[in-house]
Amino acid sequence: MELIVRTVILFCCVTLAACSQEDSSNVTNNIANQNVDLILTNGKVLTVDDQFSIQDTVVVNDGKIVATGGASLTSQYASDNVVNLQGKVLMPGFNDSHTHIRGRPQRYIELGDVTSIAEIQELIQAKIIEIGEGEWITGYGWSEDELDEGRRPLRTDLDLVAPNNPVTLTRAGGHSAVVNSLALELADVTLETPQPDGGVIERGDDGQLNGVIRERQEIVERLVPDSTYDELISSLEVNLNDLLSMGITSITDASKPPSQFAMWEELYENAELSLPRSAVQFQWFDLEGINEVKARVGDGTDFLRVGPIKVFADGGFTGPAAYTLEPYHNQGEYRGYLNMPEEELVAHLNEIHDAGWQMGIHAIGDAAIVLVVNTLADALERNPREDHRHYLNHFSMRPPELTMELMAQHKIHITQQPNFTYTLEGRYVENLDGWRLQHNNPVRSPMDHGITVAISSDILPIGPMVGIYAATTRKGMTGAVYGPDEIISREEAIRAYTLLGAFLNFEEDVKGSLEPGKFADMVVLSEDILTIEEERIMDIEIEQTYVDGKLVYSLE
């Protein structure tokens, strides 16, 4: 009898346990069938997780990724907003880890798309009609490599259409400008003016000033009247919003004085347009101002935060003024310049490191890269910091192997612009030769050394597809291939333009890939970026952009 009772009790316990498990399963199913804000399905979802896994469906709620997986997720979750991707590629939004976005005054003319000096002259004439004679005219974005005349605009070109308006027009890349005669006159720049430290006031073949100033454009630009707050903040909002049409959902603005952060704060608090997430990289020379902003805002918000400190080690290639180990091609002993005396640069790098700040350091020429890396390595050995994430902006010339080994050893990273190989091809061909030319903007070799390499644009141009095209083909504008041993895969390029950009800002846990718990910042592409013919990569359009799971841009 006792045995029968025990058997009955055991049976009841097993039954209760089974019922409990069944109830638990039902609860799980009820949770899984919860309503969510957004489901995107029937796509090719590039998650950019550790395995670069490709899924079908993404589930989003409260601005975050809830799940990624197969089409069965559509039966586990319910939403009033289900998007049929119709086989299109969905991937993380691009993270441009080094760019420059500015508000522009009324006197400004955009030159990024001009194709001739004649067109530049027409824009100047139209601007004079708009703002009147005597007013300063500024502009940015011309490149001799894209002009029909095959040369730079010069002082005489500007004088023809603007004899009574001072004009300064900055080349794409920002390292040189052309000014007219009136601007030179107002700035008291003559043939007797001594060459500025770290820059060049050019003379033409006739021995006269040709209007081009390299690296020290402030000699003239210091006279340009300040822009009004209202015109700057309104155009900044438009320029930031435009990034969403390029699929850019996060940026690091690579050079701002701390005094401008308040404008960005006001914009992000009151913006009427959708904006990408932004980290603002402050210029090194105002550490007191930087510390004041940091004390007030801390790490900032999910949409606006303080980034690393920016230090300029040398110049750029558009001059050229990058600081090189060997002389430039056919330019005598000329090797470019450091942006400041070496002792001063070393002292600043040590000061900023010791203060506990992260740095993003402009270093383009191989001599500048060697100096900066040696300085950082010494600083890290003297004052170790476990996760400093110092990085070099640009890394345009491949340095000696020992330098890359030091970078890997001390975890010194890079944000690279492979798009330079495409858009600055003419500058590299003119100024470099042989091995140095072939290995401009290296990506494969630092990656192979174990260095983290993110990809960004530095506005030459901003659109990510140029960078991905150049990184995966190593082709310039002419179609010539430079250093095929520096080619990386499309998967590597995508990761570098998304997750690794987030890594540089200590944000890889919250964005940069489509994984549960991360921000639902995503883009839908018009073509399959993994399989499209390489010559059509730059034709890929952004059909939709989502930030925080909200549709913020649509091509249609």
Answer yes or no: do 197 and 338 share one domain.
no
| Burial zone of 433 (CB within 10 Å; 0-12 exposed, 13-18 middle, 19+ buried) | middle
Domain boundary among 488, 507, 540: 488
Domain boundary among 488, 511, 535: 488
Q: Which of 544, 489, 484, 460 is nearest to 245 (CA)?
A: 544
CA atoms within 13 A on the CB side of 498: 32
Which residue do the tokens 């998304």 mark?
Answer: 498
Q: Within 10 A of 34 (CB to CB), how many other CB atoms are there?
A: 13
Report pTM: 0.85
Answer yes or no: do 333 and 203 share one domain.
no
What is the chain's percent helix, strand, coil content, to nearest 5?
35, 20, 40
The pLDDT assigned to 112 comes to: 86
Residue 356 belongs to some domain of the structure: yes
Domain boundary among 456, 488, 520: 488
CA distance 246 to 466: 11
The pLDDT assigned to 465 comes to: 98
Q: Which two tokens stand for residue 285?
A: 């020379």
Answer yes or no: do 322 and 464 share one domain.
yes
The pLDDT assigned to 285 comes to: 81
Answer yes or no: do 459 and 320 share one domain.
yes
CA distance 248 to 468: 13
Q: Report whether 451 contacts 407 (CB < 8 A).
A: yes
- As for how many domains the chain has, the answer is 2
Residue 167 belongs to some domain of the structure: yes
pLDDT tens string for the chain (556 positions)? 343 334 433 444 434 333 333 332 222 344 447 899 999 999 999 999 999 999 999 999 999 999 999 999 999 999 999 999 999 999 999 999 999 999 998 999 999 889 999 999 999 999 999 999 999 999 998 999 889 999 999 999 999 999 999 999 999 888 899 999 999 999 999 999 999 988 899 999 999 999 999 989 999 999 999 888 998 999 999 999 999 999 999 999 998 999 999 999 999 999 999 999 999 999 888 888 899 999 999 989 999 999 999 999 998 887 788 999 999 999 999 999 999 999 999 999 999 999 999 999 999 999 999 999 999 999 999 999 999 999 999 999 999 999 999 999 999 999 999 999 999 999 999 999 999 999 999 999 999 999 999 999 998 888 999 999 999 999 999 999 999 999 999 999 999 999 999 999 999 999 999 999 999 999 999 999 999 999 999 999 999 999 999 999 999 8
CA distances from 383 to 354, 375, 379, 380, 386 (A): 7, 12, 6, 5, 10
Write the CB contacts of 63 (distance below 8 Å, at least 6 apart in sequence). Answer: 37, 519, 520, 548, 549, 550
| Cα-based angle 77, 81, 84 (whole degrees, multiple of 5) | 90
SS3 288: helix
Q: Which of 486, 499, 475 is nearest to 439 (CA)?
A: 486
The pLDDT assigned to 463 comes to: 92
Answer yes or no: do 217 and 320 share one domain.
no
Residue 164 belongs to some domain of the structure: yes
SS3 535: helix
Q: How far apart are the first and last CA of the chain?
A: 79
Question: Is the peptide bond preceding residue 484 cis, with omega within 30 degrees of 0?
Answer: no
Write the CB contacts of 224 (distance below 8 Å, at least 6 apart in sequence). Answer: 107, 136, 138, 168
CA distance 36 to 82: 10
Write the CB contacts of 389 (distance below 8 Å, at least 6 apart in sequence). Answer: 308, 358, 411, 413, 503, 504, 506
| CATH code: domain of residue 118 | 3.10.310.70
Answer yes or no: do 340 and 468 share one domain.
yes
Q: What stretch of H or E contains 61?
A: strand 57-61
CA distance 123 to 169: 12
Residue 233 belongs to some domain of the structure: no
Q: Which two tokens stand for residue 289?
A: 């101002």
Answer yes or no: do 470 and 344 share one domain.
yes
The pLDDT assigned to 6 comes to: 41
Residue 375 belongs to some domain of the structure: yes
Answer yes or no: do 205 and 331 share one domain.
no
The amino acid that residue 269 corresponds to is: E
Answer yes or no: do 444 and 319 share one domain.
yes
Answer yes or no: do 450 and 324 share one domain.
yes
Dihedral pair phi/psi, residue 80, rounded to 5°: -80, -5
Answer yes or no: do 184 and 323 share one domain.
no
SS3 338: strand
Residue 180 belongs to some domain of the structure: yes
Residue 269 belongs to some domain of the structure: no
Answer yes or no: do 340 and 466 share one domain.
yes
Within 284-427, strands assigned E span: 304-312, 359-363, 391-394, 413-416
| CATH code: domain of residue 397 | 3.20.20.140
Q: What stretch of H or E contains 6?
A: helix 2-32
Q: Which domain holds residue 207?
A: 108-221
Residue 131 belongs to some domain of the structure: yes
CA distance 309 to 291: 11
